[in-house]
Structure 1
Amino acid sequence: MLVKFGNCGSLEQHGSARNKIWTIDENPPPPSPNDSQGKSFVDLLLKPSEEDLKRWPHSFDFRLRVSLLADGSLTLISRIWNVNGKPFSFSFAYHTFLSVSDISEVRIEGLETLDYLDNLCQKERFTEQGDAITFESEVDRVYLSTPNVVAVLDHERKRTYVVRKEGLPDVVVWNPWEKKSKSMVDLGDVEYKQMLSMNGAAIEKPVMLKPGE
């Protein structure tokens, strides 16, 4: 998970939240009656350490609820609470890795005709021209003002991932391809062929929280 609070220096590879120590809430608030049928869940909590507060002096509580339904649907709900005396802003992205048969045979539908920021071209803004997104080389883009439902079609496995999101206007699409994979310590040289990162995000317009929000 990529979360960047305010201006706190360079961002770690793939975000800082994944490298923090989370705790499990042993007495989490129950789900609503309409949201509890056939569901198992765990709440993970993150608070800034003393070292974090030295770099960026704003306190927050971050609750991530991970829920699994009986039909196999996975739901992630993030709630970030400003317990600081001043407002702060943050950018956010779930860094979801999807397992695919062959990235060259995968297509994403739902982002066609939209504008995106290309991180391989100094965040220059482009408009998607294809009728779907396919992969022939490295891709690192932030699609803007996206619909709440986006589909990833894996033709070889005859599988479709359907990603539904709320409150996150952008979508990050990333695959490092061969050259960058060889320079990454946490990804095998050829593992890029069987993975795709596509996730809801709030990048172009960071989220602003007032005290107590």
Structure 2
Amino acid sequence: MSASASSPPAGEENKQEAAPVRHCKGVNDLDKVVLREVRGSSAEVYLYGGHVTSWKDEHGDELLFVSNKAIFKSPKAIRGGIPICFPQFSNFGNLEQHGFARNRTWCVDNDPPPFPVPTSNTAYVDLILKPTEEDLKIWPHSFEYRLRVALSPGGDLMLTSRIRNTNADGKSFSFTFAYHTYFKISDISEVRVEGLETLDYLDNLQDRARFTEQGDAIVFESELDRIYLGTPSKIAIIDHEKKRTFVVRKGGLPDAVVWNPWDKKAKAMSDFGDDEYKRMVCVEAAAIEKPVTLKPGEEWTGKLELSAVPSSYYSGQLDPDRVIQDSTVPEDSIS
């Protein structure tokens, strides 16, 4: 779906393609940043929404789903990829669905404060979002939201969010949050999600009634929209037909949302194809049940790391000692 920048001059193409970070234009002439690792993996990040719209492995296979009907134009959020849900998840609050961060234009952060753990990666970009006057009218809190999107040399995709309360009036604020990740899959009937068995969840299809997961894995036979609580730092999405497993590692994000709209809801969404539900699944690292509260000057960190590995792995075989970089960050992740 992403449009490429205009063709480079003769002889410059290979040089530009090899650059680890490239700023160019995407769909509807929107600014985007292309990240590329030397082994061939890549990612695309739109400044509109601070939105990752593409993540490809070293073979050029796309790993994220973006709808063919996605609208790359304000005020509509981009349908697919990794929308940022902040400062509100869903519509349980006074703000628009999933908050406003996903349909604001972010800026490149050329002078971010040091990260707790320096990265040796060269394929990364730092973005920043601050509230506009209009934002302050609907959510009267001053904040700085810094987002780093990075590719590891092995092709893992890493997102780090740092949200700071910059209120000058001494007031705290609370928010809910999710990385609303759309994974591209072969067929929803061929997919299972492991790592959430025996956990309690809130069912969004039943007014957030609370249940306990009974299956040994989550499989899909109809619309599903659940918020799993107190989840482990690692979740596996197994695509049998693709012989691929996505591994979701997270820090500071105790909840996980699993969503597929199925056929009826898919047909009701103007920016989503009628049959596209078969080729996507959302598994979202989130902080929803217990909102994050920050006092002035406090900062929260939420981390997401995505890997794609052969599906001969399953959740029980994944290295239990490898969680997420800087996994010593406590679950509340507030400093």
The CA deviation at 1:15 is 4.0
Aligned to 1:24: 108
Count of residues paired in the alignment: 211
Deviation digits for residues 52-98 of structure 1 (CA, Å, limit 9, x no counterpart): 11112110000011011111100000000000031000000001110
Q: What does residue range 104-115 of structure 1 map to in structure 2 within 5 Å?
A: 104-115=189-200
Aligned to 1:98: 183
8 Å contact kept, 1:107–1:154: yes
Structure 2: how far apart are the matches of 1:88 and 1:5?
A: 12
Aligned to 1:81: 164
Q: Partner amino acid for 2:106?
A: W
8 Å contact kept, 1:106–1:134: yes
Q: What does residue range 1-213 of structure 1 map to in structure 2 within 5 Å?
A: 1-4=84-87, 9-12=94-97, 14-29=98-113, 35-84=118-167, 85-213=170-298
The CA deviation at 1:38 is 3.9
Structure 1: how far apart are the matches of 2:284 and 2:202?
A: 15
8 Å contact kept, 2:88–2:95: no
8 Å contact kept, 1:8–1:56: no
Q: Partner amino acid for 1:62?
A: Y
TM-score, normalised via structure 2 length: 0.60
Structure 2: how far apart are the matches of 1:96 and 1:76?
A: 11
The CA deviation at 1:186 is 2.0
8 Å contact kept, 1:5–1:88: no
Structure 2: how far apart are the matches of 1:163 and 1:8?
A: 27
Instruction: Structure 2 unaligned segments of length 5 or more: list them.
Output: 1-83, 299-335
Deviation digits for residues 139-168 of structure 1 (CA, Å, limit 9, x no counterpart): 110000000000000000000000000110
8 Å contact kept, 1:89–1:206: yes
Structure 2: how far apart are the matches of 1:8 and 1:106?
A: 32
Q: Partner amino acid for 1:145?
A: G
RMSD between superposed Cα atoms in Å: 1.8
Please give the secondary structure, in 2, of the residue aligned with 1:111.
coil
Please give the secondary structure, in 1, of the residue aligned with 2:219.
coil
More strand, by proportion: 1
8 Å contact kept, 1:182–1:188: yes
8 Å contact kept, 1:5–1:89: no
Aligned to 2:56: none
Larger mean CA deviation between 48-57 and 203-212 belongs to 48-57
The CA deviation at 1:183 is 1.0
8 Å contact kept, 1:149–1:162: yes
Structure 2: how far apart are the matches of 1:10 and 1:36?
A: 35
Percent identity between matched residues is: 62
Runs of at least 4 residues of structure 1 off by over 4 A?
A: 5-8, 29-32
Instruction: Structure 1 unaligned segments of length 5 or more: list them.
Output: none
TM-score, normalised via structure 1 length: 0.93
Q: Which one has the largest radius of gyration? A: 2
Taking structure 1 as reference, are residues 210 and 30 closer, same or farther at Cα in structure 2, changes over 3 Å only?
A: closer
Please give the secondary structure, in 1, of the residue aligned with 2:288.
strand
The CA deviation at 1:10 is 3.9
